[in-house]
Structure 1
Amino acid sequence: MAPPAYSDISKNSNGLLNKDFYHLSKASLDVKTVAPNGVAFSLKGKTGKDDSISSNLETKYTDKASGLTLTQGWNTSNSLDTKIEVKDAGAPGIKAEFVSSVVPSGPKGARLNLFFAQQSVSARAFFNLLKGPTFVGDISIGHDGFLAGSEVAYDIGAAKVTKYSAAVGFSTPVYSFSVTGLNNLSLYQAAYYHKVSPFVEAGARATYDIKNGANAGKPVAIEFATKYSLDRTAFVKAKIADSGLAALSYSQQLRPGVTLGIGASFDALRLAEPVHKLGFSLSFSA
């Protein structure tokens, strides 16, 4: 099995700390359907901070015989997004993507993405063809649970490296640990994840900013999250940070294909101020 991509070395802890907290928007809706001929339709909508509504309609068709996938999207910003994916492009283990974004009488974008995965190595390359052009590439290697990877961004037009980062980790089905150096190795994150039991998961992340933390009173930021599965259809999550921010969420499958999520966040240091958030999410699939 190929190791996870560089950005997924800390996937378990990142997912526990960042996903399924529904307070980030007051309301969100996700509808997914699949036609008899295999064409998949997806509609996503949510409210923004200014109570505006943004949504995206997406259609996806996959030709399993050729390995070709075509995705077409249209959103409320009037952006037409097209993605063409080809598996085993030129050689086994290579996937290619061409992604374009067009706003009539507005900005346009075009990207070429290449993915390579083998037994002990995964690599990716992202080319922004109209801006720069620029290149972002990453690679990860794995052996017996040990993981290591790095990422670099290069401005082809200016002929200079603009960003680099690196990560190491160790992963098992029950627990994982990783250390990542970001922002040209000026920001460090240490994260762990533990599946305590079939019902309980726990994880934490510590962040140290060399540039901004050296002269601060509290240079290390720590956050902790846990998830408890009530049964196969419901779970609760909680997260708290040393900044005083706390978040709670509850997810319930109302029936097959229908899931309701409710979330809230609180600032424990500003309980009397109107800074707390509440949101919900409704998902349909058929």
Structure 2
Amino acid sequence: MIDTEKGAVAGDAAGSSEKSKEKEKKKRSRVKQLLTDVKKQVEFWFGDVNLHKDRFLRKLIDDSDHGYVDLSVLASFNRMKKLTADTKLIARALKNSSVVEINLEGNKVRRLHPIGEPPNDEECRTVYVELLPKDVTHNWIERVFSKCGNVVYISIPRYRSTGDSKGFAFVEFEKVDQAQKAIEMLNNPPEDAPRKPGIFPKTHSGKPLPMPPENPISSEEEEKKKRKKKKKKSSTSLQNSVNEEKEQPMEAESTGQKRKSEPETSRAQKTPGKEKRDAGRKP
């Protein structure tokens, strides 16, 4: 009886220990994945492809001492906020990076090598994609286009008021032939690809690549402009009507003045009935 109880207790302890180990293993796996994601994001920001386009970060680097950028600035970026706001964890993730380095204090980061010259074939390596859903993400686009080659940059113009996608994006590949392959795939999707717009992205071969505006006008702002224009038009029409009404009394007044200037005999001839009424009144 006692041996049975001891065995049950030992079994429970072993099961509890096993669960604890499994829980700890999952936790380590999550932390490892988080460190990998943080490292990938920071290396992208400081990479040549992004810095040739990212004026804000480029200015921070140029204006700083020895090219260092405070980790707290990176932690304030929206994409980093989704991962972590812990600057110590960011510094830990970048410890063995081949693109950036951390200062001795562990609170700033900079590129290891000077930035190169802008490439001259960027436009040929970029594909314009349309018919995207409003909630499209960078990860979704990267997953779709990775079948064609190495995706190095993705730009998704969004409305400032809502954050929704405008329905199109720019995908830059590492090589020109990869971009051509993507165009062929998009214009000739496989038979098993969903045909509903926004599910499987499409593009047009040979279509010029319009660059996204730096300060895109949101749909809300466009609607305000339309209302303002309509209001201005209505105000102009109302003013014209008022002016017409003002002109009519002036004409009537001028007519009255002309009538006053006419001879009394003439006025009497026009209103004989009035003279008869006046003749019958008592003084």
Normalising by structure 1, we get a TM-score of 0.19
Give 1 or 2 for the bigger CA radius of gyration. 2
Higher strand share: 1
Higher helix share: 2
